[in-house]
Amino acid sequence: MRARYDEVAETPTSQSLDGLMLLAGVFLAISPWVVGFRPAEADLAVNNLIIGVVVALLGAGYAVAYGRTHGLAWVSAVLGVWTIVAPWTIQGRDVAGGTVITNVLVGAVITLCGLGAMRMAASRHGASTNR
């Protein structure tokens, strides 16, 4: 079974998803400084840093050892959804537009990458359907 997952991990689609997830996680982690979050958004900045590091580590894990980490693919999708709703959950109505746009776009990318990783893990025909 692990050999099938390793075959799936070697496909260009899988490698692209893993790389995109890694980049999205890194960007989310540094987004408070790149976008310029307001001082009042410090809690959201900490959230983005932590979630971004976790997503980047998951993306790296999928790229390096997909056979061992495929079972965690659902976590990426959940973290992506959390990233989308975090500005309103953590900040309430006191959130800047750039902050919202950043979280929604990056959260959507993370969610789609997570769903793609789940699809790859659930593929019945292994790598032959993903080439």
Query: pLDDT per residue over 91-131, tens digit each?
Result: 887 787 788 999 999 999 999 998 988 887 676 444 444 44
Say what the pLDDT of residue 11 is: 66
Q: What average pLDDT does this structure show over 4-25?
A: 75
CA distances from 101 to 66, 69, 73, 85, 93 (A): 31, 30, 24, 11, 14
Provide CB contacts within 8 A for 38, sequence distance 6+.
96, 99
Question: Does the model's pTM come out above 0.75?
Answer: yes
Say what the pLDDT of residue 6 is: 57
Residues 19, 13: Cα–Cα separation, whole Å: 10
Say what the pLDDT of residue 72 is: 81
Query: pLDDT per residue over 37-92, tens digit each?
Result: 888 888 999 999 999 999 999 988 887 776 667 778 889 999 999 999 999 998 88
Ranges of each domain in the chain: 2-127
Question: Which tokens in the block code for residue 61?
Answer: 């894990």
Residues 19, 34: Cα–Cα separation, whole Å: 20
Query: pLDDT per residue over 18-40, tens digit each?
Result: 889 999 999 999 999 998 888 88
Question: Which tokens in the block code for residue 79?
Answer: 């973290």
**pLDDT reading at 2 higher than 80:** no
Tell me how crowded residue 45 is: count the other CB atoms within 10 A of its CB.
Answer: 19
